[in-house]
Amino acid sequence: MRLPANFLTVLLLIALASIWSSSFSVIKIGVQTVPPITLSAFRIGLAAVVLYGYMRMKGLLIPRNRKFWKLAFVVGLFGNGLPFALIGWGEQTIDSGLAAILMAVMPLSTLLLLHIFTGDERLTAPKLTGIGTGFLGVVVLVGPEALKGLGGDVIAQLAVAGGAVCYAVASTAATHMPRVHPAQRGAAVLLVAAAQMIPLSLWFDAPWTLSLDATSIASGVYLGLFPTALATIIYFYLISARGATFIALNNYVIPGLGVIWGWLFLGEIVSLQALGALALILLGIAIASSRPLRTG
């Protein structure tokens, strides 16, 4: 029995959100012993090898088109290297559930970027209201210290939010990549991201001097195989099938799941402030994503 295309994409979106949301708890574990840049370089490098091997097994080659590689560079930087490092750095001091909630600024950022750079999503009064509501939720989340520019945790929170904006940039750029097989796009993006991050890891962290335990290695392997390699295949399939705005909808699910994983596996406490901020952010997304009712 073959599933309807729309139903299949919804299932894949939920699967993508589940995979991505699990990464925040694993990152929290990994950065306790591995510097964020090196953890990012390891997961990206592993995922690049896996996807390139998968692509070659299918008898495919990476396109040599110049536009393809320019966009792969942008998506690799803003969809992998930079946000992975920012989120990892932020999670050295903030809870994984909090980091997942901050990801909810991604769909709001995507709406703005699609409006500015593609014209696919025009800004309307509901969308502007939703963006404002979501921003209010972020302010509630980081607290009044953010308005004063004080506090180390605020900087960490802003770093994670910056990672969410990076994902929005990547999704906007990914919509313009030639629609070849997801493995071809994923392999190219991850190879470029690995070329960006591995030298930084070697320069800043000297990873050969690190003392890695089984937990550190397992964290990196999980992040490389699932939230990076597998998620990239699903991501590019959904980008082709439904577009960047549809991908952004997984952020309805990621914050809540991220909070649940942090509570279940890391014993993190969920504050009323965080729950209130999450409600405001998700309300903002709902308002911004709503479509006007047709009459007549």
pLDDT digits (tens, 9 = 90+) for 20-67: 989 999 999 999 999 999 999 999 999 999 999 999 999 999 999 999
Residue 21 pLDDT? 87
- The single residue listed with the structure tokens 């070849």 is 180
Asked whether residue 94 is assigned to any structural domain, the reply reads: yes
Q: Token pair for residue 152?
A: 């180390």
Q: Of the spans 130-139, 143-152, 270-279, 280-289, which averages the highest pLDDT?
A: 270-279
Instruction: With a cut of 90, say whether residue 10 has pLDDT above it.
Output: no
What amino acid is encoded at 178 in this protein? Answer: P
Q: Of the spans 31-40, 145-154, 243-252, which averages the highest pLDDT?
A: 31-40
Residue 269 pLDDT? 77
Cβ-proximal residues to 263 (8 Å cutoff; 6+ apart), any chain: 97, 269, 270
Helical segments of the chain, H only: 5-30, 36-57, 66-76, 82-90, 96-102, 105-117, 125-142, 145-148, 152-174, 182-205, 214-223, 231-242, 244-248, 254-266, 272-289
Asked whether residue 93 is assigned to any structural domain, the reply reads: yes
Residue 294 pLDDT? 45
Asked whether residue 296 is assigned to any structural domain, the reply reads: no
**Residue 191's pLDDT band (boundaries 50, 70, 90)?**
very high
- Got the DSSP string for 78-135? IIIIHHHHHHHHHTTTS-HHHHHHHTTHHHHHHHHHHHHHTSSS---HHHHHHHHHHH
Burial code (b: 16+ CB inside 10 Å, e: under 16) for 135-170 equals eebbebbbbeebeeeeeebbbbbbbbbbbbbbbbbb
pLDDT (average), residues 241-250: 74
Residue 113 pLDDT? 75
Q: Using CA of residue 9, residue 14, residue 17, residue 22, what is the dihedral sign?
A: negative
Instruction: With a cut of 80, say whether residue 256 has pLDDT above it.
Output: no
CA pair distance 97, 263, nearest whole angstrom:
8
Number of domains the chain contains = 1
Instruction: With a cut of 60, say whether residue 2 has pLDDT above it.
Output: no
196-200, 201-205, 221-225, 249-253: least confidently modelled range:
249-253
Give the residue numbers spanning the domain of 22: 5-289
Asked whether residue 229 is assigned to any structural domain, the reply reads: yes
CA pair distance 126, 288, nearest whole angstrom:
6
178 vs 285: which has the higher pLDDT? 178
* Whole-prediction pTM: 0.81
Q: Token pair for residue 99?
A: 């980091």
Render pLDDT for 91-144 as a digit per residue (tens, 0 to 9). Answer: 999 888 778 777 777 766 776 776 666 655 566 777 677 767 766 776 676 565
Indicate the average pLDDT of the chain.
83
Asked whether residue 79 is assigned to any structural domain, the reply reads: yes
Picking from 282, 84, 64, 52, the residue whose alpha carbon sits closest to that of residue 197 is 84
pLDDT (average), residues 197-226: 94
8 Å CB contact between 45 and 225: no
Instruction: With a cut of 80, say whether residue 1 has pLDDT above it.
Output: no
